[in-house]
Structure 1
Amino acid sequence: MTTVDEALDNAKSSKFHYKVLFVSGLGFFTDAYDLFIIGVVILILPLAGWNNISIFYKGLITSTALLSAIIGSVTFGRLLDYLGRKEIYGLELVMLIAGALGSAFLTPTNNILVFILWRFLLGVGIGGDYATSSTIMTEYSNTLNRGKFVGTIFSMQSFGLLAGPLISILFLTSGLSPSLTWRLLLAIGGIPAMLVIYFRRTMPEPPRYTADVRGDIKTAEKNLRSYTGIDAQSKRAEKVNAKWYDLFKDKKFLITLIGTAGTWFLMDWAFYGNSIMSNSILSFLVPSGLNGINAIILTNKYSALIFGIAAFPGYWVAVFTLDKIGRKKIQITGFLMMAISFGIIALFPGIISAAYVYYFLMIYGISYFFIMFGPNVTTFVYPPEVFPISTRGFGTGISAAGGKTGAFIGTFADTLILAFTNLSFLMWILSVLAILGCAMTVFLLPETKGKTLRESSGENRYMNQT
């Protein structure tokens, strides 16, 4: 007899895997674009008549979506376990689209409060996507390629990351007014999500969840057959009875949760603070005689260069090596190289100038490559693999919330640090955070490469036959 779990663990890569990839991955393209485009928009707003954006409000506007993503990831993660995957999948995109379009078309000039409220709604949807998409893709994946499948969903972020500066350059050089440009840049963020809402809402409940949490083996086998074409038969279901509070009571789960949430916190501080503020950081390289739209265009060209040459390939090298090298080794390597790259920039502040632009871009680019070929991908892949299926959404949601807490603090704090100190001081801080992330990975996280979900999640300890 082959159980539902065994059938999915041993399944060959097939078209249903790629269907789930498309439905989940396009959402992550949108997530990345929406989060990072605000760094460009915040520079355009003063040129579009916004004259009341203080340093404080600048930090708040750029980081609000990250703050609300904390709420979204935990809320949707818990609902994912309580109500089921099918019941809520797609609702996070509805909130995301409303937030993107509202911030673009329903925000009056100079009305910072309304702008922040729409960005808050957008962030809740983004946080929900972090909890739902990784969990669902993990539960459809086979053991051999699970890292590649889940990593691919997250790496769709690379297209959104690159699209932001390229679209910005297109608009800024087209002659469109700044007042129209910033609204269009925000509105575009809702379009990809619209394409996949229907498919998310019509997906069946993942068979693993139906069998292992609901105990409905017949429906699980039926959905497995109809959606994947795979047959499985079991005499009886083996339910996983781990409760949400077991993540805090069980010492092993608690240590793992500290590891997944903690390393994601440290990585996101470095990554989001760096990326959302990249235009401000790269403005240090702009010649003093260049300002206004032309200065923003140049910083976007630098961003596109770094994202295209360094960040983009880093994502995909990680995707195709996760199941060969392993999650832990890649994460440790990434954190170490981040620490070294940030440390070099901090040690030699003279390269932070237009005179040494190529040297700076090379080192800054290396840091981006190893963020992607490192903890940016692995911190997303880890959580749904290391928590039992009955608490997987919640554990993943808390882990993502840890990341977005770091992203919020990093984006807000980096704005103030750049305003009141200098880039060299910021790089020292980021280097120390990367060292801490490396240490947490070494001591708190297991290797999940080549393990079935039941082995890597520890759910065998919480199984009862029904």
Structure 2
Amino acid sequence: MRTRADILETLEESKIQSFHWRTMFTSGMGFFTDAYDLFIIGVVTTILAPIWHLGKAEIGILNATSLIAAAIGAILFGKLADRFGRKSVYGIEVIILTIGALLSATSQNFDQLLFWRFIIGLGIGGDYPTSAIIMSEYANRKNRGRLVTSVFAMQGFGLLVGPLVASGLLVSGISHDMIWRIMLALGAVPAAAVIYLRRTISETPRYLLEVKKDKAEAAKVVSTLTQHDVSSDDQTHSDGWTKRQFWVRVIGTAGSWFFLDIAFYGNSVSSTLIMKSLAPHASLLHTTLVSTLIFLVFAVPGYWVTAFTIDHIGRKTIQMLGFMMMALSFAGLYFIPNITMMTIPFLLIYGLSYFFTEFGPNTTTFVIPAEVFPTRWRAFGDGLSAGAGKMGAFLGVLFVPILLSRLSLTGTEGVMAVACILGMGTTLLVPELKHKSLSATYHDTDPGSDSSNTQSKVKNRHAVS
């Protein structure tokens, strides 16, 4: 008879197999959709402003409302995933995304579009804890960072496809009133593509073992996935965590994500406004293409550099390095005299900030909360962290247009530098789980813990081939 530890070891010590990549794709397509939906709205509101006679306040609200809803969705779905199981809620968030995207394209006025953007935001928020936790709990120990990062890295493709779709439509000759509707409706396609895959995914073995106490079903799932026969005994397990330990971790993960998203979303959703501030006479097509080029050259490689180094360098190290380099980049844009008059140097420094956003806290703030909480609170802790991030994103998106008008472009980037410095401070509160089993979460906050002994025992066992 295998013990509970044997069942989890079989899963965590396995090599990467097809089910890992299938889970990564199923989870990652949600983040492709999330990125597309969140970032396309900046172009949509630019198009809609003269058609619907929108003021700056209305543009700011439209750009930001999905982020408030995402904060609510992240916390709600995280709590539900811990209460009822990952499988029970997985897929509902992309159904919400699909419906919201399609109906937002039919909006006839500001209020209707605002409502459907709120619905989309609920789905986006729900995707953060559910996808992160499912990938984390299915991943093997050695490659968990890469697999969870790869899920999030699909966001990079959404960042590219959104502006490319916008650029293609802008040169197509189609009326602007139709272009924005097509942009929004296309957000339903990738979400709808994974509804079936998500609704049919198995419950994670770790949740079955540690929350539902269903060892027989957990053993069955692991056996099916790894092709290794696993049976179980009737051992029980308690993680021993206190609420105080949980909330200390939340301060570290949620605080880091909050400050990161102020800078990241503030710059990204308002990228067309930032490019317009740099080149006031440039067309919408020109500013959109420049933003796309920056994402392609700087941001997209950053995601994948993280994916292939995170299990070697470590999550916390990458996050600290990223925050530091972002702060230096934004500070350079603030302190270098007349930098806005030097387009190429400005874009290079601005682009460098994007590289270290992705090879840094934008990916690690997604990975770390999926690891550092015990199973019974993992999705809720992740949801709280993602929700805090989206609150930061809301503030960034809402206030960047105001900051641009009152502090200028360089002053706005100076504010972003301060946010990154604060993010470095909260990062000090998070632990490093590089090469550790998720079970190490139960021990590494307690003095004299046996986590190191647990890890050495795991390493000394034969890895499952």
TM-score for the superposition, normalised by structure 1: 0.92
CA 1:300 to 1:143, structure 2 compared with 1: closer, same or farther past 3 Å?
A: same
Kept in 2, the 8 Å contact 1:240–1:459? The answer is no
Kept in 1, the 8 Å contact 2:14–2:226? The answer is no
Kept in 2, the 8 Å contact 1:4–1:211? The answer is no
Deviations 1:241-285 (A, max 9, x none): 668xx4xx32x3222110000000000010011100001001123
Task: Give the Cα separation in 2 of the matches to 1:87 and 1:373.
Answer: 33
Deviation larger for 223-232 or 88-97? 223-232
Give the aligned partner of residue 296 of structure 2: 308
> Structure 1 residue 169 and structure 2 residue 167: aligned?
yes
Kept in 1, the 8 Å contact 2:163–2:288? The answer is yes
- Return 5+ residue gaps in structure 1 as ranges: none
Q: Secondary structure at the match of 1:382?
A: helix
CA 1:457 to 1:376, structure 2 compared with 1: closer, same or farther past 3 Å?
A: farther
> Structure 1 residue 21 and structure 2 residue 24: aligned?
yes
Which AA in structure 2 matches 1:83?
Answer: F
Matches within 5 A, 1:28-107: 28-47=31-50, 49-51=51-53, 53-105=54-106, 107=107
Give the aligned partner of residue 346 of structure 1: 334
Kept in 1, the 8 Å contact 2:87–2:201? The answer is yes
Deviations 1:165-195 (A, max 9, x none): 1111111011111001101111111100111
Deviations 1:311-368 (A, max 9, x none): 0000100111000000011000000000000001111252224xx2111110000000
Give the aligned partner of residue 317 of structure 1: 305
Measure how far apart 1:457 and its partner are: 4.8
Task: Give the Cα separation in 1 of the matches to 2:380 and 2:442.
Answer: 13
Measure how far apart 1:231 and its partner are: 2.8
Task: Give the Cα separation in 2 of the matches to 1:231 and 1:139.
Answer: 19
Kept in 1, the 8 Å contact 2:49–2:59? The answer is no
Task: Give the Cα separation in 1 of the matches to 2:330 and 2:381.
Answer: 31
Give the aligned partner of residue 397 of structure 2: 411
Give the aligned partner of residue 285 of structure 1: 278
Kept in 1, the 8 Å contact 2:239–2:442? The answer is no
CA 1:457 to 1:379, structure 2 compared with 1: closer, same or farther past 3 Å?
A: farther
Kept in 2, the 8 Å contact 1:213–1:239? The answer is no
Kept in 2, the 8 Å contact 1:55–1:419? The answer is no
Q: Secondary structure at the match of 2:375?
A: coil
Kept in 2, the 8 Å contact 1:454–1:460? The answer is no
Measure how far apart 1:138 and its partner are: 0.4
> Structure 1 residue 447 and structure 2 residue 432: aligned?
yes
Measure how far apart 1:41 and its partner are: 0.7
Q: Secondary structure at the match of 1:175?
A: coil
Give the aligned partner of residue 380 of structure 2: 394
> Structure 1 residue 267 and structure 2 residue 253: aligned?
no
2:317 maps to which of 329, 344, 366:
329
Deviations 1:44-95 (A, max 9, x none): 1134x211x1111111000000000011000000000101111110001111
Task: Give the Cα separation in 2 of the matches to 1:192 and 1:223.
Answer: 28
Matches within 5 A, 1:197-216: 197-216=195-214
Task: Give the Cα separation in 2 of the matches to 1:31 and 1:349.
Answer: 37
Which AA in structure 2 matches 1:266?
Answer: F
Task: Give the Cα separation in 2 of the matches to 1:78 and 1:459.
Answer: 24
Measure how far apart 1:238 and its partner are: 2.9
Measure how far apart 1:421 and its partner are: 2.8
1:226 maps to which of 224, 227, 239:
224
> Structure 1 residue 130 and structure 2 residue 128: aligned?
yes
Q: Secondary structure at the match of 1:451?
A: coil
Task: Give the Cα separation in 2 of the matches to 1:59 and 1:69.
Answer: 16
Task: Give the Cα separation in 1 of the matches to 2:420 and 2:198.
Answer: 36
Task: Give the Cα separation in 1 of the matches to 2:442 and 2:118.
Answer: 33
Give the aligned partner of residue 350 of structure 2: 364
Q: Secondary structure at the match of 1:270?
A: helix
Task: Give the Cα separation in 1 of the matches to 2:235 and 2:127.
Answer: 29
Which AA in structure 2 matches 1:235?
Answer: D
Task: Give the Cα separation in 1 of the matches to 2:412 and 2:163.
Answer: 23
Task: Give the Cα separation in 2 of the matches to 1:450 and 1:241.
Answer: 20
Task: Give the Cα separation in 2 of the matches to 1:253 and 1:325.
Answer: 25
Measure how far apart 1:458 and its partner are: 4.0
Kept in 1, the 8 Å contact 2:105–2:180? The answer is yes
Kept in 2, the 8 Å contact 1:242–1:459? The answer is no
Task: Give the Cα separation in 1 of the matches to 2:337 and 2:57.
Answer: 26
Kept in 2, the 8 Å contact 1:204–1:227? The answer is no
CA 1:396 to 1:416, structure 2 compared with 1: closer, same or farther past 3 Å?
A: same
Kept in 2, the 8 Å contact 1:386–1:458? The answer is no
Which AA in structure 2 matches 1:423?
Answer: L
Kept in 2, the 8 Å contact 1:256–1:445? The answer is yes
1:148 maps to which of 140, 146, 149:
146
Give the aligned partner of residue 418 of structure 2: 432
CA 1:84 to 1:269, structure 2 compared with 1: closer, same or farther past 3 Å?
A: same
Kept in 1, the 8 Å contact 2:104–2:113? The answer is yes
- Return 5+ residue gaps in structure 2 as ranges: 450-465
Task: Give the Cα separation in 2 of the matches to 1:349 and 1:194.
Answer: 49
Kept in 2, the 8 Å contact 1:81–1:394? The answer is yes
TM-align CA RMSD: 1.7
Deviations 1:362-416 (A, max 9, x none): 0000000000000000000001110000111101000101100100111101122
CA 1:237 to 1:102, structure 2 compared with 1: closer, same or farther past 3 Å?
A: farther
TM-score for the superposition, normalised by structure 2: 0.92
Deviations 1:191-244 (A, max 9, x none): 00111100100111111111111111111111222344333233224344668x
> Structure 1 residue 296 and structure 2 residue 294: aligned?
no
Give the aligned partner of residue 181 of structure 2: 183
Deviations 1:18-56 (A, max 9, x none): 010111011110001100000111111134x211x1111
2:117 maps to which of 107, 116, 119:
119
